[in-house]
Amino acid sequence: MENPELAELPELLLPWFRACGRALPWRRDRSPYHVWLSEIMLQQTRAETVRAYYLRFLDELPTIAALAACSEERLYKLWEGLGYYARARNLRKAARVIQEKYGGRFPETYDEIRALPGVGDYTAGAVCSICFGLPTPAVDGNVLRVLARLCACAEPVDRPAVRKEAAALLSALYPASDADGLTQSLMELGATVCVPNGPPKCGGCPVRRICKGLRLGVAETLPVRTRRPPRRAEEMTVIVAECGGALAVEKRAERGLLAGMWQFPNTAGRLSEAEALSLAAAWGLRSPRVLRRAEHTHIFTHVEWRMVCYYMSCAARPARFVWADAARFSDEIALPTAFRVFCGRAETERGGV
């Protein structure tokens, strides 16, 4: 990655950010707890989606001590729909480390923060620069995309060596007086101007004057990534069984995808209606009757679930399942989106994440 004009990046970017940066709730202060929480929530998730989750989470868990003491069920409920639930588990683990090892005070050095559960280079860099003014860049996919375009870099940006190079390049640019501003303005540029999934909005870009990708006419072709192996497809049959106003749910295994989360009973493979009925009977769902059927394809990073769902009514509540009514679903049972899509869904549909 090379562009001698990058030295001008801070002076072009910082005034733009002060004038045009979005007023997001986690930008109201520099509390390490708030910044850390927002950075974890923002991984893989858009700011517009995170906003409501962030406010609700802090409303209920306003301190690291409250997060450390939160039950797993409640934590999942607060995270319900955000996905990547390991993030929530790690947040609580890290809060407990902060309570026990640092007496409840958020650590202030890069190495201590980087060592917290669930914290990688990106999050440590973001917290240290935004909260403590350290010249530690936060290099994620957004920042890599911006840099690749600014430098007309045709190397695959997901190579560790390229990421390392980007971090070194940025470290040298950090102004002593405004590390916070540079980190946030780069994130903002990547989110609102030098956008993913479509052409960059170069016409309104504050750094267009120094953009090598734009000058060479290659910005839209960047960044380059190494080719990922195709996602594995798995067929699954889900049964949403209702009995006396309650639905059957169960916990997933403690390891693997969506570990320890709630789910509707399901089995591998795509069953016909007759096969689903006999499976339901074998589970002890007495006199099962299929009311309707739905379909959904749920996409995870490495796998996609192709799900067919049978809605059934039945005449008994076998104890192998937990039976949850509407109130319990609303207060306590956190269903991952892959299963939540079947709540209230009718007829045959297809959907994404």
Q: Note whether 298 binds ligand SF4 by CB under 6 A.
A: no
Q: Which is nearer to ligand SF4, 38 or 185 (CB)?
A: 185
The first and second tokens of residue 39, run together, are 């950075």
Residue 39 is among the residues annotated as catalytic for this protein: yes
Q: Note whether 150 binds ligand SF4 by CB under 6 A.
A: yes
Q: Note whether 149 binds ligand SF4 by CB under 6 A.
A: yes
Task: Give Cα 180 distance to the centre of its chain.
Answer: 22
CA–CA gap between residue 163 and residue 117 (Å, rounded):
21
Q: Which is nearer to ligand SF4, 208 or 296 (CB)?
A: 208
CA–CA gap between residue 248 and residue 193 (Å, rounded):
46
Write the interaction track for ligand SF4 spanning residues 176-195; mark x where CB under 6 A is met and - where it is not.
Answer: -----------------xx-
Measured CA to CA in angstroms, residue 304 lies from 43, 231, 248, 328 at distances of: 20, 7, 24, 29
From the list 39, 80, 165, 188, the catalytic residue is 39
Find the shortest distance in angstroms from Cβ 200 to ligand SF4.
4
Find the shortest distance in angstroms from Cβ 193 to ligand SF4.
5
Q: Note whether 211 binds ligand SF4 by CB under 6 A.
A: yes
Q: Amino acid identity of 101?
A: K
Q: Which is nearer to ligand SF4, 144 or 150 (CB)?
A: 150
Q: Note whether 143 binds ligand SF4 by CB under 6 A.
A: no
Q: Note whether 223 binds ligand SF4 by CB under 6 A.
A: no
Q: Note whether 224 binds ligand SF4 by CB under 6 A.
A: no
Q: Note whether 147 binds ligand SF4 by CB under 6 A.
A: no
Find the shortest distance in angstroms from Cβ 183 to ligand SF4.
16
Q: Note whether 146 binds ligand SF4 by CB under 6 A.
A: yes
Q: Which is nearer to ligand SF4, 20 or 202 (CB)?
A: 202
Q: Note whether 214 binds ligand SF4 by CB under 6 A.
A: yes
Query: Could you tell me which stretch among 78-86, 96-104, 153-161, 213-221 binds ligand SF4 (CB under 6 A)?
Result: 213-221
Residue choice 186, 219, 276, 338 for contact with ligand SF4 (CB under 6 A): 219
Query: Could you tell me which stretch among 53-61, 94-102, 207-215, 314-322 binds ligand SF4 (CB under 6 A)?
Result: 207-215
Q: Which is nearer to ligand SF4, 182 or 219 (CB)?
A: 219
Find the shortest distance in angstroms from Cβ 16 to ligand SF4.
11
Annotated catalytic residues are 39
> Residues interacting with ligand SF4, by CB under 6 A?
146, 149-150, 193-194, 200-202, 205, 207-208, 211, 213-214, 219
